Amino acid sequence: MTSSEHTGREAEIRARWNATTPGPWHVTVFDDVHAMNLVAVATVADTDASSEIIAATLVQAPRYVDVADGRWDENAEAIANAPSDIAYLLGQNALLEGQLAMAREIHKPETRYTPDDGETSYDTYADAAEISKITDIAPTQFEVCEHCGSIEMDAGATEYRDSLWPCDTARALGLGEGATGE
């Protein structure tokens, strides 16, 4: 699933939940002359509030709503807790999306240039070309991860080894060649 498909799907889920009857929802059991052992989800925790029913998981008599596996109570609990569960998951998703966006922002390619020796690199083609004049070989362009490259160089490295683009983090984030996700 691409990032835009994910965003669209999340928007659909949010729209569906925003259109539902506001919670909280409660599991309610009705057992009266109208319905024997009716397990329902309602907007109030009151067995006299049949007009507030959101969903029913069992209407035993008359036998109208039933499920073969007998999980009426579990289904009702899941439905009743769905608004808070969905809100929690959407909140967690937003948090993770924010963290991913931050990681994608710092793990981005930076173009570097090296003269023929491959031992040094420069920010601009012109700087590398100045050194290359000695050998008459044009500078070579390559990319490193801006973030990982600065860490590697700050640690005293003399060449880019672990920060060539795409770095491991960028690949895991779905960026660059050989990406594993988006």
| pLDDT of res. 182 | 46
Average pLDDT over every residue of 153-171: 84
| pLDDT of res. 98 | 92
DSSP string, 24-79: --EEEEE-SSS-EEEEEEESSS-TT-GGGEEEEEEEEETT-B--TT--HHHHHHHH
**Which run of H or of E encompasses 151?**
helix 146-154
Give the torsion sign (CA, 21, 27, 28, 29). Answer: positive
Packing angle, helices 3-18 and 72-106, rounded to 10: 140
Mean pLDDT check: name the lowest of 11-25, 33-47, 136-150. Answer: 33-47
With beta carbons less than 8 A apart as the criterion, state whether 30 and 50 touch: yes
Please tell me whether residue 111 adopts helix, strand or coil conformation.
strand
| pLDDT of res. 178 | 56
Distance, CA of 86 to CA of 93 (rounded, Å):
10
User: How many other C-beta atoms lie within 10 A of the C-beta of residue 169?
Assistant: 16
**At residue 131, does pLDDT exceed 60?**
yes
Percent of the chain with pLDDT over 70: 90
Average pLDDT over every residue of 54-62: 81
**At residue 99, does pLDDT exceed 50?**
yes
Distance, CA of 112 to CA of 104 (rounded, Å):
20
Using one digit for the tens of pLDDT, what is the confidence trace for 64-87?
787 778 888 898 999 999 988 998
Percent of the chain with pLDDT over 90: 25
Question: What is the model's pTM?
Answer: 0.66
